[in-house]
Structure 1
């Protein structure tokens, strides 16, 4: 199967709003919905000081997005890095693009401003007191206010991309991430706010379906979809048991060998179930997998050796949880086992604290669940042209959408 492809428009292919954000010399917070180009602008902004041999850092939250960006920079190095030599390019890819949480040293969401300031100053001291020229945060809403309250300790300039509707980690109150991040940044240094309004990823039908999950989000509901390309309606397939859903996934893969395919699920064990099923049917996630039978997968506690293979060469189909799919896009998205979605919305997340398991909390003090409705909004907006939602029975959160007839042998591909 093909390598995962991240499309990176260059300057002349950007919209006026994207170009304004790209060429802004100040600290900036770029906000907008899925497919609006936040990550595209962030990468292009990052490459400007890189080509001028400045000391900068680009941080992501999701390691899957990190892998795709590293893969893009490696694949397109000759056209993206200007006159930098191979050693300098390798240094940028290996050391200047990082997962913030891992770079920090396993950051905890409950760290307060004082703790983060102390740790940032220690990192600065280890650099001999030399600040970065600029640091870039993609998917900034997944970090915490304490990070942005101290970012200028590390750098003279800070650039972020964020979206309230993609606040899946609960580190900010609903609909407040952008305002809070912006207020925190501009309190420390002059910072501008730039909105990217258009969606360049989804068809009209897919986006209309996706925003049905978040009817109370006025920013999402007010987006104009008239300029989106027309496409096929999402396929909502009910009446499938787990084995039939697995078979459906395989048939979609076999019928779309040249497309980026994302398979999105709620839980890590569902990732491994699909992985094992594909392996039983001749597919492999190993480094030496045959091109026509390869795939990749990710969840946060996966075996390190398999994660390294994914980082070295990210393949599709790509199996991943909703938590880890942000920043990615696929030609085709499959959302199987969707009858579990209703339960995931009410199942608290727990983490081990010594000998006990404690329920994780959101920024507003509520219990953190395995999923929010925003997870499914984000998942559906990963699809560029085709979306399949597979389930045994129709969960209540799909009441806004009329499903197609139960599946039969005449598959729609």
Structure 2
């Protein structure tokens, strides 16, 4: 089943979101994970194209988010005419950074909207600026995952006239999810007012950490979770630090968990940046890396090999606390962590802890024929 996405109605936007949407000048949207920055960007683009007779495009860094945005955008008639200084705009509405850099010519549009702008380099932003008089962007520097990208001061200097809108209300994460994030990542700003508001309006349930040093039991528990929640409208993600398998990453790779689940009859999709494909598929059971999950949201998130959290952020150059922040905040409801041992920095105040016993019985029953090819 495909990834389920439903763009919120324009009438459901908050006052702050509506103000940002209706602003005629260039905007700069900030706010934490789950505050609706991408929703505002999507609606601004749709409103430009459908009601304001403006041609706009959306640019984002990752292929996965680009695919997600493309699914979300309302189709516009190809033969609609726009007054663009006699310059023909590109035919597409959503571009990954890689595809945007392939564009040639002196084309121009009314507005370019950059989603996850903190992931782009300053020189790239300067290039984008030449293709529209109006440049709007959304950014959260808590989610800056790549080195040598623009910093907050640089982007504000470059787009100094943009009207700033800071979104505060978190629509995705519950109190217990953000309380867990604050406990694990104390250097990331999560305001007490946000927690207090969520405690009243969306307390949610605590994350659960399952402990077992038996890989088969871990896989059985993951399958049990999938079978408990899977439906047409429930998105499940298994998030890992690494994509492909090598001597170091093999225990924490997308490929490993994808192969294990496919071999046990679980229908799912996978993606990571080094996969050689332009045709991304996102099913509602999806295995991907922390970085490729950015911008997406899921009802249930499972993070295996969590006992390697501290080693990863200390020793591995491509994984940092920002990656884990992204992973934790992808969930709308359930967060499950898999660990081979009890971790001294996690207690019952922020996370439930459950040991997978030797007599653990999985509810999983395979419906795959014995002679099916398991991949």
After TM superposition, the score normalised by the length of structure 1 is 0.75
Structure 1 residue aligned with 2:355: 406
Whole-angstrom CA distance in 2 between matches of 1:316 and 1:156: 38
Q: 1:5-28 deviations in whole A, cap 9, x for unaligned? A: 233113211000000110111111
1:132 to 2:131 alignment: no
The Cα of 1:53 is off from its aligned counterpart by 4.7
Q: 1:129-162 deviations in whole A, cap 9, x for unaligned? A: 3422111110111112222334321110001000
Q: 1:282 to 1:153 in 2, by over 3 A?
A: same
Whether contact under 8 Å (1:28, 1:191) holds in the other structure is yes
1:10 to 2:42 alignment: no
1:158 to 2:158 alignment: no
Q: 1:98-118 deviations in whole A, cap 9, x for unaligned? A: 10133214xxxxxxxxxxxxx
Whole-angstrom CA distance in 1 between matches of 2:342 and 2:79: 54
- SS of corresponding position for 1:346: helix
The Cα of 1:94 is off from its aligned counterpart by 7.2
Structure 2 residue aligned with 1:220: 190
For residue 250 of structure 1, the aligned residue among 210, 223, 233 is 223
The Cα of 1:309 is off from its aligned counterpart by 5.2
Structure 1 residue aligned with 2:29: 30
Structure 1 residue aligned with 2:69: 69
Whole-angstrom CA distance in 1 between matches of 2:363 and 2:210: 11
Whether contact under 8 Å (1:342, 1:396) holds in the other structure is no
Whether contact under 8 Å (2:224, 2:363) holds in the other structure is no
The Cα of 1:405 is off from its aligned counterpart by 3.5
Structure 1 residue aligned with 2:43: 44
- SS of corresponding position for 1:389: strand
Specify every segment of 5 or more residues in structure 1 that has no aligned partner in the other structure, as ranges. 106-122, 284-293, 349-368
Q: 1:180 to 1:241 in 2, by over 3 A?
A: farther
1:279 to 2:250 alignment: no
For residue 291 of structure 2, the aligned residue among 307, 319, 323 is 323
The Cα of 1:249 is off from its aligned counterpart by 1.4
Whether contact under 8 Å (2:170, 2:194) holds in the other structure is no
For residue 156 of structure 2, the aligned residue among 169, 182, 186 is 182
Aligned positions, number? 339
Specify every segment of 5 or more residues in structure 2 that has no aligned partner in the other structure, as ranges. 81-88, 246-252, 365-375
Q: CA RMSD in A?
A: 2.6
1:99 to 2:99 alignment: no
Whether contact under 8 Å (2:207, 2:352) holds in the other structure is no
Whether contact under 8 Å (1:6, 1:329) holds in the other structure is no
Whole-angstrom CA distance in 1 between matches of 2:107 and 2:92: 16
Is the helix fraction higher in 1 or 2? 1
Q: 1:146 to 1:223 in 2, by over 3 A?
A: farther
Whether contact under 8 Å (1:338, 1:389) holds in the other structure is yes
Structure 1 residue aligned with 2:249: none
Whether contact under 8 Å (2:178, 2:190) holds in the other structure is no
Whole-angstrom CA distance in 1 between matches of 2:195 and 2:2: 30
Whether contact under 8 Å (2:206, 2:352) holds in the other structure is no
Whole-angstrom CA distance in 2 between matches of 1:331 and 1:375: 19
1:261 to 2:210 alignment: no
The Cα of 1:280 is off from its aligned counterpart by 0.9
Q: 1:355-413 deviations in whole A, cap 9, x for unaligned? A: xxxxxxxxxxxxxx221112112111111111100011245664795551322337899
Which runs of structure 2 are paired with 1:199-210 in the superposition (5 Å)? Answer: 199-210=170-181
